[in-house]
């Protein structure tokens, strides 16, 4: 249920009328021409005899008009006078005004001098009324244009509601989400269950003198289900749910963010119990004073108001504020202190069992074939979050529908995983024979190194089908279990697997290509992390040389060097040493197993994708026969590289 649309109140029109009255006296000074020169009647008659009067208007109380100036420079008509006045000065004219006396010969003198004259029955009040009408019309036009702009950017709301909150409001039970719809994050669900119990049965806590946390902050990578969990809390508790993003508080107008925070909390506190959920809290919750240039930033005003409102909660009011972020390291410490967001719940990536549970939740919404084993799919999607798994199910449904199938089969789910991991298959990207050979040996090198090292994830599939933006092939490795720690040997194993493709190219073709660019980037990052973050360098010792400003959940580059240039040089030398040693070890390994390398490459050139028992037979050396012609001309040298 959206907040009701409000109409402009009568006081708006009163404000417009008052503004018109004030501006009626101000605008002539801003936009009007130079005031008329007051002259005696005798001077007027003298100018008339000298034929310097060009035109005039005769009123009962005054005579106004224009006389020829001595120079051509004269005041230009004002902006409003130009459109709304009856007369305006022309170039070379000066306005004058005089008080008439009883002069019966005035008309004869005007005609004799050839002066254009006219009569007027009104006075100054007519000019003021005309100016008032013009000003009022001008203000109404501005109000109308601003209203259109406001509705253009927010069609549901008008200009006068700009300070009201923009939350999407779900009344009791209308979230239609419960804990049954949340899977794979059981620990986080248990943490928020007591929030539901407090909203349902507050007397149980109050009787013991307990106090429920005022704020619950959900932390975790994108797509893990933080928003879904918050909506499930509201659905289970049966209370109104206010949902909005942190960026919706801040607009181009100063003070709007703070006004919206006040309005949001005021509206929520009208209920006996309610939940306020702010998604992407880091949009308004960044640490204050990070730079001297943002000390008066609009976001800081919004954050200050949020802190004040959270402190101003009534102890008996069952309004709970929940928020979600994937960047907790940049939040202001005042938000995280007890009494505000005093409970922080990590919504992490799901485990193998969690992924299987998530797949069952999404699988119940589609038609799966009887032979589909979701636990196998869960084992083949390590590191996937809930959003990724939902995407896999949806992609599989689209693939099955495209093939006119009645059910989603296992092969559809396998293809969907490949599409999510490596991207869409590029059938239009046709490689020439030479490029195809290079890619085949490159991927065979990855697979053979992975199968030859201990502590490395087993190879599930090798393919030379182009996918995604720049991938010309891929080697899919799947872990046998969830792992949360990596040893030095395992990290070196991953580095060697990444170098296997480039080494295979160099051994077979005596040449290297650009295909190893991503492998080298990832391998260098592993080696640098071993030296600077994990303390795995004997030369530099167990010290941390990284930057602790890196995001906890998003990763990303570190900025700045918290160490000297001498240490930086030693780090570079140590990283190079680790990569070089790994490169030579992979080189010796592939030279020993170059017949298996050639056999797997030839099979890839024939089938484009190798998996299952056929792949394992080659990797383990079973039924290994020398493939005739596997090493083309110029590749028959048996000399081993120097060690």
Give me the helices (H) in 68-117, please.
79-84, 106-113
How far apart CA 55 and CA 58 sit, in angstroms, is 10
> How is residue 15 written in tokens?
């404000």
Closest CA to 450 of 597, 592, 619: 619
Closest CA to 374 of 227, 228, 223, 184: 184
> How is residue 450 written in tokens?
């992975």
DSSP lists the bridge partners of residue 97 as: 38, 64
> How is residue 328 written in tokens?
């907790």
> How is residue 242 written in tokens?
């206010």
Report whether 318 contacts 546 (CB < 8 A).
no
- Displacement of CA 21 from its chain's centroid (Å): 46
Closest CA to 325 of 345, 302, 339: 345
425 part of the active site:
no
Dihedral sign, Cα of residue 346, residue 350, residue 351, residue 354:
positive
Contacts of 13 (CB under 8 A, 6+ apart): none
The angle formed by the CA atoms of residues 509, 450 and 393, to the nearest 5 degrees, is 110
Dihedral sign, Cα of residue 141, residue 147, residue 152, residue 153:
positive
Q: What is the 3-state secondary structure (H, E, C) of 305-336?
A: HHHHHHHCCCCCCEEEEEEEECCHHHECHHHH
Q: How many CA atoms lie within 13 A of 156 on its CB side?
A: 9
How far apart CA 594 and CA 628 sit, in angstroms, is 13
DSSP lists the bridge partners of residue 425 as: 467
Token look-up 């599939």 returns 461
Report whether 356 contacts 378 (CB < 8 A).
yes
> How is residue 122 written in tokens?
């009104």
| Integer angstrom CA distances of residue 231 from 173, 242, 277, 482 | 10, 10, 8, 29
Closest CA to 501 of 511, 515, 490, 487: 515
DSSP string for residues in 380-426? T-TT--HHHHHHHHHHHHHHHHHTT-SSB-HHHHHHHHHHHHH-SB-
How far apart CA 480 and CA 458 sit, in angstroms, is 8
How far apart CA 173 and CA 237 sit, in angstroms, is 8
What is the signed CA dihedral for 371, 375, 379, 383, rounded to 10 degrees? 120
Phi, psi of 275 (to 5 degrees): -125, 130
Which one of 280, 437, 443, 505 is the catalytic residue? 443
- Length of the chain equals 643
Report whether 388 contacts 381 (CB < 8 A).
yes
> How is residue 354 written in tokens?
């969690």
Residues noted as catalytic: 443
């Amino acid at each position: 249920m959206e907040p009701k649309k409000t109409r402009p109140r009568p006081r708006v029109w009163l404000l417009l009328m008052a503004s018109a009255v004030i501006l009626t006296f101000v605008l002539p000074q801003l936009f009007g021409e130079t005031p008329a020169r007051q002259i005696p009647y005798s001077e007027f008659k003298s100018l008339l005899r000298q034929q310097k009067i060009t035109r005039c208007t005769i009123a009962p109380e005054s005579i106004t008009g224009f006389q020829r100036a001595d120079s051509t420079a004269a005041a230009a008509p004002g902006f409003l006078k130009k459109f709304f006045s009856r007369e305006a000065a022309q170039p070379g004219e000066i306005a004058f005004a005089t008080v008439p006396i009883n002069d019966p010969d005035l008309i004869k003198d005007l005609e004799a001098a050839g002066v254009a004259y006219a009569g007027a029955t009104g006075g100054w009040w007519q000019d003021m009324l005309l100016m008032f009408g013009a000003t009022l019309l001008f203000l109404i036009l501005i109000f109308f244009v601003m209203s259109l702009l406001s509705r253009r950017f927010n069609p549901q709301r008008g200009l006068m509601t700009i300070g009201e909150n923009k939350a999407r409001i779900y009344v009791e039970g209308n979230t239609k989400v419960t804990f049954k719809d949340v899977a794979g994050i059981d620990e986080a669900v248990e943490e928020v269950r007591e929030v539901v119990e407090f909203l349902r049965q507050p007397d149980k806590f109050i009787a013991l003198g307990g106090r429920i946390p005022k704020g619950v902050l959900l932390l975790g990578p994108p797509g893990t289900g933080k928003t879904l969990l918050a909506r499930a809390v509201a659905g289970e508790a049966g209370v109104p749910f206010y949902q909005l993003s942190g960026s919706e508080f801040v607009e181009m107008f100063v003070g709007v963010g703070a006004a919206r925070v006040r309005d949001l909390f005021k509206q929520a506190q009208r209920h006996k119990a309610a939940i306020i959920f702010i998604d992407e809290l880091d949009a308004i919750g960044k640490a204050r004073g990070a730079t001297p240039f943002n000390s008066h930033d609009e976001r800081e005003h919004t954050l200050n108001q949020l802190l004040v409102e959270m402190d101003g909660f009534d102890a008996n009011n069952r309004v709970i504020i929940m928020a979600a972020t994937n960047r907790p390291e940049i939040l202001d410490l005042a938000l995280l202190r007890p009494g505000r967001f005093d409970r922080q719940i990590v919504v992490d990536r799901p485990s193998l069992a969690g992924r299987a549970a998530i797949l069952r939740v999404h699988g119940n919404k589609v038609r799966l074939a009887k032979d589909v084993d979701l636990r196998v799919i869960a084992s083949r999607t390590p590191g996937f979050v809930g959003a990724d798994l939902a995407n896999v199910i949806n992609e599989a449904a689209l693939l099955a529908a495209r093939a006119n199938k009645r059910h989603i089969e296992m092969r559809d789910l396998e293809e969907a995983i490949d599409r999510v991991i490596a991207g869409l298959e590029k059938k239009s990207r046709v490689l020439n024979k030479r490029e195809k050979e290079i890619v085949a040996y490159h991927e065979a090198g990855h697979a053979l190194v992975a199968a030859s090292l201990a502590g490395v994830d087993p190879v599930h599939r090798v393919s030379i089908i182009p996918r995604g933006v720049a991938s010309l092939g891929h080697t899919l490795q799947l872990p046998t279990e969830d792992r949360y720690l990596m040893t030095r040997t395992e990290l070196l194993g991953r580095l060697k697997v990444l170098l296997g493709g480039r080494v295979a190219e160099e051994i077979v073709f005596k040449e290297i290509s650009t295909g190893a660019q991503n492998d080298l980037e990832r391998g260098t990052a592993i080696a640098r992390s071993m030296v600077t973050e994990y303390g795995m360098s004997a030369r530099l010792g167990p010290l941390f040389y990284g930057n602790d400003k890196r995001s906890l959940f998003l990763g990303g580059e570190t900025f700045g060097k918290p160490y000297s240039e001498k240490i930086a040089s030693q780090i570079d030398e140590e990283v190079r040493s680790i990569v070089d040693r790994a490169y030579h070890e992979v080189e010796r390994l592939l030279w020993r197993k170059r017949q298996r390398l050639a056999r797997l490459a030839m099979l890839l050139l024939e089938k484009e994708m190798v998996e299952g028992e056929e792949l394992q037979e080659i990797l383990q050396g079973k039924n290994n026969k020398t493939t005739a012609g596997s090493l083309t001309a110029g590749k028959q040298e048996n000399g081993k590289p120097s060690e």
